[in-house]
Amino acid sequence: MGSKIHIKAEIHKQEAEVHIMENLWVFLNVLSLAILIGILFWMQKKHYSFTKRVFAGLVLGVAFGVILQAIYTADSDTISKSSDWFNLVGYGYVRLLQMMVIPLIMVSIISAIMNLKGGSNLGKMSASIIAVLILTTGVAAVVGITAANVFDLSAENIQAGAAEQEQGAALEERLGTVQDQSLPEQILEFVPSNPFADMTGARRSSTIAVVIFSAFIGIAVLGLDRKQPEQAETFRKLVRSLYGIVMRIVTLVLRLTPYGILALMAKTIASTDLQVILDLIDFVLASYVALFVMFIIHLLLLLVFGFNPVTYLRKVLPVLTFAFTSRSSAATIPLNVQTQNKKLGVSEGVANLSASFGATMGQNGCAGIYPAMLAVMIAPTQGIDPMDWTFLLTLVVVVMISSFGVAGIGGGATFASLIVLSTMNLPVALAGLLISVEPLIDMGRTALNVNGSMTAGMITGKALNQVDEKVYQERNQEIDVMQA
């Protein structure tokens, strides 16, 4: 009896020692992150530019993640517990940005519309931005189809583990919430019935509903100008004050960008299973080739409209870097708007509309390339020739229509895929086969989504003569988030 008690005591002692050592490693990992944050803070105090600090955060985050991968395994408890602490910085920053999305959209769109000389420009702005977003999504679908065929991708060649089967079942269950909605019903979802509920993000289409509600307020102010100009001016003063306060908060949050990117990248790299990536390397490569090709198409479109792609790239890289690490088009809206307006010279109205619309429709990566690639991969499992022209043309049209109302947050690509695959009568469960590499692919998709919204803003601004060429050509201009 005494020996059994002794053995149990030894086991508890060993478990306690392991627990203490694990906590020690977690503490050292968190301390290391704090030191890296200190380096970025030192760079800020030494007045290094915002762009340099953003890329320093990216490089340090990747390097730290690689080191953690080399010391631990991606699924270790130490990495999991360390990531929880990393999330305080990374996802804490993302949440602060998300906190500003709705207020920024509202005051920016109301301000932009009420300052228009006439209501006609609003219709032209909206039509142009939506047209660019949807048409480029169609092009993105073609690029995704081509990549899937060139790399000979097929769902038949992918083995499903327990996690993949569980994800597939979850997708089939989720399909029930969207499958029964007709196209008119999906469009009706955009119309706000309770704008205050939409301000809480209650629906997947909440962002665009807030855009519509804000547009009505702006238009109402223009009408009030003619009938009761004193009341209109009083409201204008209120909106200007709110706009100044909101932009000040945005400025304060944007200062945290290098720290957020550092933590997000460290967590992503450290928790990524390299073996899983190698098992699905063909799909990963095909996805990033398609994303890169579509990105080049964006640059060519800008070149056609008279913009220097090199100048554009230099100014938008911090935005794309954040979109890449955060995996949220919606969270990138504040930085997107700031960059378009302050660095690219796009008017406030166009910048706000393109950033807002781009986070809810026409997402070239999540709603264009990804669903198209999945459909081509899954088609052979149903006896469908993925090279059949009828199938391909139908797929492109379905992708373009389905790209309306896709949420600009994690899971948006999954929702878009559900709609596309169900419309094409393809099994949605097979999309769960790619769950293991979903975060890695989603980073590139989100960056492309955001770049697509900025491209739409630039093209619309040029077409409506609402781009300040002097601001765009300014070589050393920064969004001064340190001094603002």
Alpha-carbon gap, residue 111 to 349, rounded angstroms: 8
Alpha-carbon gap, residue 484 to 477, rounded angstroms: 14
pLDDT band at 168 (very low <50, low <70, confident <90, very high): very low
Q: Residue 402's pLDDT is what?
A: 80
* Burial class for 193, CB neighbours closer than 10 Å (0-12, 13-18, 19+): exposed
Kindly state the average pLDDT of the residues 237-256: 87
pLDDT band at 11 (very low <50, low <70, confident <90, very high): low
Q: Residue 35's pLDDT is what?
A: 94
Give residue-wise pLDDT tens across range 92-105. Answer: 988 887 788 788 87
In this structure, what DSSP letter does residue 179 have? T
Percent of all residues in the chain with a pLDDT value above 70, rounded to a whole number = 82
Place of tokens 């990549």: 147
Q: Residue 457's pLDDT is what?
A: 94
Q: Residue 337's pLDDT is what?
A: 87
The type of residue at 322 is F
Helix (H/G/I), strand (E/B), else coil: 406: coil
Whether domain 2-473 has CATH 3.10.50.30: no
More confident residue, 1 or 436: 436
CA geometry: angle 297, 432, 441, nearest 5 deg: 30
Alpha-carbon gap, residue 256 to 261, rounded angstroms: 9
Give residue-wise pLDDT tens across range 265-315. Answer: 888 888 877 776 676 788 889 999 999 999 999 999 999 999 999 999 999
Alpha-carbon gap, residue 91 to 120, rounded angstroms: 40
Quick check: 367 pLDDT over 80? yes
Kindly state the average pLDDT of the residues 340-351: 89
Of the ranges 33-37, 257-261, 367-371, 420-424, which one carries the lowest mean pLDDT score?
420-424
Q: DSSP per residue over 91-143, as a string?
A: HHHHHHHHHHHHHHHHHHHHHHHHTSSSTHHHHHHHHHHHHHHHHHHHHHHHH
* Burial class for 484, CB neighbours closer than 10 Å (0-12, 13-18, 19+): middle
Quick check: 478 pLDDT over 80? no
Highest mean pLDDT among 47-56, 145-154, 448-457: 448-457
Q: Residue 99's pLDDT is what?
A: 84
Give residue-wise pLDDT tens across range 382-416. Answer: 888 888 899 999 999 989 988 876 655 555 677 77
Q: Residue 415's pLDDT is what?
A: 72
Q: Using N-to-C axis directions, what is the helix angle for 412-423 and 162-175, rounded to 10°?
A: 70
Alpha-carbon gap, residue 169 to 159, rounded angstroms: 15
Give residue-wise pLDDT tens across range 179-195. Answer: 556 667 766 777 888 88
Of the ranges 117-121, 267-271, 442-446, which one carries the lowest mean pLDDT score?
117-121
CA–CA distances in Å: residue 393 to residues 46, 156, 178, 204, 254: 55, 23, 23, 27, 42
Of the ranges 13-27, 131-145, 439-453, which one carries the lowest mean pLDDT score?
13-27
Q: Using N-to-C axis directions, what is the helix angle for 77-114 and 309-326, rounded to 10°?
A: 130
Q: Residue 482's pLDDT is what?
A: 41
Contacts of 448 (CB under 8 A, 6+ apart): 140, 291, 294, 295, 364, 365, 369
Q: What is the pTM of this model?
A: 0.79
Element (H, E) at 330: none
**Domain map (residue ranges) of the chain:** 2-473
129 contacts 355 by C-beta, under 8 angstroms = no
Mean pLDDT of the chain: 82
Kindly state the average pLDDT of the residues 57-61: 90
Alpha-carbon gap, residue 374 to 178, rounded angstroms: 18
Q: Residue 410's pLDDT is what?
A: 52
